[in-house]
Amino acid sequence: MDYSQVKRIHLIGVAGTGMGSFAGMLKAAGYQVTGSDENVYPPMSTQLERWGIAVLTPYAAANLDRAAPDLVVVGNVVRRVNAEAAAMRERGLPHVSFPQALGDLFLGPRHSCVVVGTHGKTTTTAMLGFLLFHAGRDPSFLVGGVTRDFESNYRLGQGPHFVVEGDEYDTAYFDKGPKFLHYRPRTAIFTSCELDHADIYRDQAHYESAFERFAALLPAGGFLAACPDQEPVLRIARQARCPVETYSVTRAADWQAADLRHSAEGARFRLVRRGDDLGPVHLPVGGAHNVENALGVAAAATALGLSPAEIAAGLAAFRGVKRRQEVRGTARGVTVIDDFAHHPTATARTLEAIASRYPGARLLACFEPRSNTSRRSLHQQAYVQGFPGAAAVFLLRPAPHDQVPEAERLDAARLAADLTAAGTPARACASVDEMVEAVAAEARPGDVVLGMSNGAFGGFWGKLLERLERLGR
């Protein structure tokens, strides 16, 4: 693709988190940007309006007349039969996927730092980007969540580094390879490798093959930080041509956290590299999993030239990402927290993190199995161990979904029965409103309610706070 004559760019599927943020980045880089989508709503609609990006809706061939683009960027939510995509092809308009455009326009000229893995990508990407910023390196970044430090999903800096969240999901209808294969990694962090995206990957071996292809992209002069807690990560990391350093909270590794203590203020530990004590660290975002993320970031940041003092200062100032242990409010003495967790490993780690932040509090876990993987029976048994320490669990029954046959769907009622039999009272709810009523009836002052979903959860958090407020009057 020759980008030298490109001035006007149109994005089909612009209202998604990644595509919307990329649209903002293109606008900041000086391009004339338009977009189209079917469902456009806050927060992305608000962000696009703030950035001055016109959004055309719904999808239609006429949108291409109005946009008159030199280039079309196609999001992975767009199917071949999409009317706008069909018109684009008929007119012979130059078009690329979002990952290819990101790689060509922004990552190619910079030192690309890519965070990959099943869990922790968003927080780890935001953390590394913030550390480079805090240390005065003026980085660019693109992350799959709104960072609390920048109130944005992206930043376009003048420094040499670009930090990007590397998604293993497919790229576009015309490119079924993983997105991160376009990201030209030189420095990378590999957090974990547990089967996800069951609509894309047949099994664990197929899933691992995507990360094997990613590891093969790293040049001999690059660097990879890998968490050895899961065997596939270590095995795949050893295939890379570049230097590899390991990090872990629980296992022997090159990077470790000594004297680790958790409290309401976050985590405190001593940063240790291969037995050398590099000094004390305070990480305000709590949980052992975030300490582990910080160790991976410390390894990568060191490879990028940051000193232990710069790393410690950046970690102490990092405020995290929205929808990751985000307190939505308190009503009638009950704290309501929002988190993006949806894989059973992620729900378990999040509950453990919340328990460390609120020692002694009763935890009520509320979960919406919304992702294509979580609404399947694939992790039916794993979810029985997915809510450790919860005083009670409330599950939203998955709605019918055309990509998940009924026979393959997660059985929320059975999961509730299995949790209850294992000693954790659980209930399957048919609707968000039913869940709100059930949780409000159960909650008492001092409790913490954790609502976990990778979607909007039907406004659960706000509805619960409103219901608790009414009960308190």
Per-residue pLDDT tens digits for 418-461: 999 999 999 999 999 999 999 999 999 999 999 999 888 889 99
In which residue are the tokens 């294969």 written?
181
Backbone angles phi, psi at 446, to 5 degrees: 95, -15
pLDDT of residue 346: 87
Written as six digits, the tokens of 410 are 């997660």
Domain coordinates in residue numbering, the chain: 8-97, 108-317, 326-472
| Closest to 470 (Cα-Cα) out of 446, 447, 436 | 436
The region, left, alpha or beta by phi > 0 then psi within -120 to 50, assigned to residue 333 is: left
pLDDT of residue 32: 97
By DSSP bridging, strand 161-165 and strand 140-147 are parallel
Backbone angles phi, psi at 246, to 5 degrees: -100, 160
Report CA-CA distances (Å) from 446 to 224, 258, 272, 450: 43, 31, 36, 13
Backbone angles phi, psi at 187, to 5 degrees: -120, 140
pLDDT of residue 402: 58
Query: Count of alpha carbons within 13 Å of 70, Cβ hemisphere only?
Result: 11
**Which ranges constitute the DSSP H helices of 256-389?**
288-303, 308-317, 344-357
pLDDT of residue 401: 65
* Domain spanning 108-317: CATH superfamily: Mur-like, catalytic domain (3.40.1190.10)
* Domain spanning 326-472: CATH superfamily: Mur ligase, C-terminal domain (3.90.190.20)
8-97 is a CATH 1.25.40.10 domain? no
- Return the bridge partners of 66, or none: none
pLDDT of residue 473: 61
Q: How far is CA 43 from the centre of its chain?
A: 16
Asked whether 26 and 34 are in contact (CB, 8 A), the reply is: no
Written as six digits, the tokens of 231 are 């065997």
pLDDT of residue 370: 84
How does DSSP classify residue 259?
Answer: E
| Closest to 319 (Cα-Cα) out of 53, 163, 87, 133 | 133
Report CA-CA distances (Å) from 375 to 30, 121, 336, 382, 392: 41, 21, 24, 13, 20
Q: Tell me the mean pLDDT per 10 residues along the chain, length 473.
A: 92 91 94 93 81 94 95 95 97 96 95 95 94 98 85 91 94 94 97 86 92 97 96 96 97 96 90 97 90 97 98 94 86 92 87 88 93 81 92 89 75 93 94 95 94 88 93 71
Asked whether 349 and 119 are in contact (CB, 8 A), the reply is: yes
How does DSSP classify residue 410?
Answer: -
Asked whether 246 and 226 are in contact (CB, 8 A), the reply is: yes
Give CA angle at 410 (405, 414), nearest 5°. 130
Asked whether 256 and 278 are in contact (CB, 8 A), the reply is: no
C-alpha span between 378 and 58 (Å, rounded): 35
Neighbours of 305 (CB within 10 A): 11
pLDDT of residue 60: 96
In single-letter form, the type of residue at position 8 comes to R
